[in-house]
Amino acid sequence: MPSLFATTREYSGITLVDLSGRISLGDGSALLRKTVRDLLDEGRTKIILNLGDVNYIDSSGIGELVSGFTAVRNRGGELKLLNLTKKVHDLLQITKLFTVFDVFNDESTAMRSFD
Amino acid sequence: MAPETKHLEVTLDTHVESVNLAEEMCVRVAEAAGFNEDECYRIGMSVREGVINAFHYGNQEKPEKKIHLEIELTEERMIIHVLDEGRGFRLTDVPDPLAQENLLSTSGRGIFLMKAFMDEFDVHPGKTGGAELVMAKRLPPLGNPTNNRNGSASNSGAPHQEA
């Protein structure tokens, strides 16, 4: 069974990616990479990753988040994070990535942040 | 009488699945040793990062090389050794992932996480020429209601006693 699932929704030019499972070495990280690359190939550069159902991220997953962030920014867009679980929140805090990503707890606030 | 030490050794293939296997194995031992859920997560994550390090950096994903995992359970600590068959490295040569210039690096956080999540962490030259990561976590005190070390934990995942 895949360790990560991703579904996308689009509103007013903003793409929300609902992720659930683990973003870790192997298929989880690979799926996140492919999802972000596919969105960029389609010209979608305003992206919110909803991590509300992501219960585990390892260093490979962190690397993939950073890679996605950089790839989107290099296309002139923005990648933001929504609904971090406590474990993911703590992980981003100790790795100082909280200072890098825009993080939101509320979907509508995250959407409005692109205005 | 000498204090009881339990000891488990496993040789793993250089394969992505070994990362999950090592993590699951160590979490089961940690649960049986009485660590609470948070500590089990931290131990599991540290072992995972250690085996990723061996898989990717040490053995360079070469399938003919092996990863050696060793778990010791003493009266006071759970000690985990992860040994690869690579060229070895010095801890002082590992870049700081919290440095401003490394924040957007897509790799290099594994050692940092092991140091953050375990009570002790070090790297030694391995007997087979690679790097040996050694990490340890103090066992929770007996009688603490937030841990599982009060006689209720199952022993199903505990390692066998050293001969």
Q: What residue segments make up the domains of chain A, in order of their start?
A: 4-112
pLDDT for position B155: 40
What band does B141 get if pLDDT is binned at 50, 70 and 90?
Answer: confident
Closest CA to A94 of B50, B53, B45: B45
Please compute the mean of the pLDDT values over residues B40-69 and round it to a whole number: 97
Please compute the mean of the pLDDT values over residues B150-159 and round it to a whole number: 43
Please compute the mean of the pLDDT values over residues B7-21 and round it to a whole number: 96
pLDDT for position B147: 65
Domain boundaries, chain B: 6-138
- pLDDT beyond 80 at B41: yes
* pTM for the full predicted model: 0.90
For residue B39, give the 3-state DSSP assignment.
helix
Contact B103 A60 (CB under 8 A): no
End-to-end CA distance of chain A: 38
Q: Which CATH number applies to A4-112?
A: 3.30.750.24
What band does B159 get if pLDDT is binned at 50, 70 and 90?
Answer: very low
Closest CA to B140 of B119, B111, B114, B112: B119
Distance CA B152, CA B144 (A): 12
- pLDDT beyond 90 at B7: yes
- pLDDT beyond 80 at B128: no
Contact B52 A59 (CB under 8 A): yes
CB burial of B118-155 (b: ≥16 within 10 Å; e: otherwise) equals beebebeebeeebbbbbbbbebbeeeeeebbbeeebee
- pLDDT beyond 70 at B144: no
The C-alpha of B20 sits at a distance from chain A's nearest C-alpha, in angstroms, of 9
A4 touches chain B (CB under 8 A): no
Q: Which residue of A has its CA nearest to B108?
A: A59
A55 touches chain B (CB under 8 A): no
Residues of chain B contacting A87 with CB distance shorter than 8 Å: 41
Q: Which of A58, A91, A98 would best serve as a mutation to test chain B binding (most B beta carbons within 10 A)?
A: A58
Q: Which CATH number fits domain B6-138: 3.90.1530.30, 3.20.20.80, 3.10.450.50, 3.30.565.10?
A: 3.30.565.10
A99 touches chain B (CB under 8 A): yes
- pLDDT beyond 60 at B153: no
The C-alpha of A89 sits at a distance from chain B's nearest C-alpha, in angstroms, of 14
Average pLDDT, chain B: 89
Contact B107 A95 (CB under 8 A): no
What band does B161 get if pLDDT is binned at 50, 70 and 90?
Answer: very low
- Tens of pLDDT along chain A (115 residues) come to 789 999 999 999 999 999 999 999 999 999 999 999 999 999 999 999 999 999 999 999 999 999 999 999 999 999 999 999 999 999 999 999 999 999 999 999 999 999 8
pLDDT for position B127: 80
Contact B106 A24 (CB under 8 A): no
Residue scoring higher pLDDT (B146 or B87): B87
Contact A100 B98 (CB under 8 A): no
A67 touches chain B (CB under 8 A): yes
pLDDT for position B163: 30
Provide the residue type at B4 as one letter: E
What band does B154 get if pLDDT is binned at 50, 70 and 90?
Answer: very low
Q: Which residues contact B152 (CB under 8 A, 6 or more apart)?
A: none
- Read off the DSSP letter of residue A84: -
What band does B162 get if pLDDT is binned at 50, 70 and 90?
Answer: very low
The 10 Å Cβ neighbour count of residue B61 is 12
pLDDT for position A4: 96
- pLDDT beyond 80 at B113: yes
pLDDT for position A1: 77
Closest CA to B47 of B65, B31, B24, B73: B24
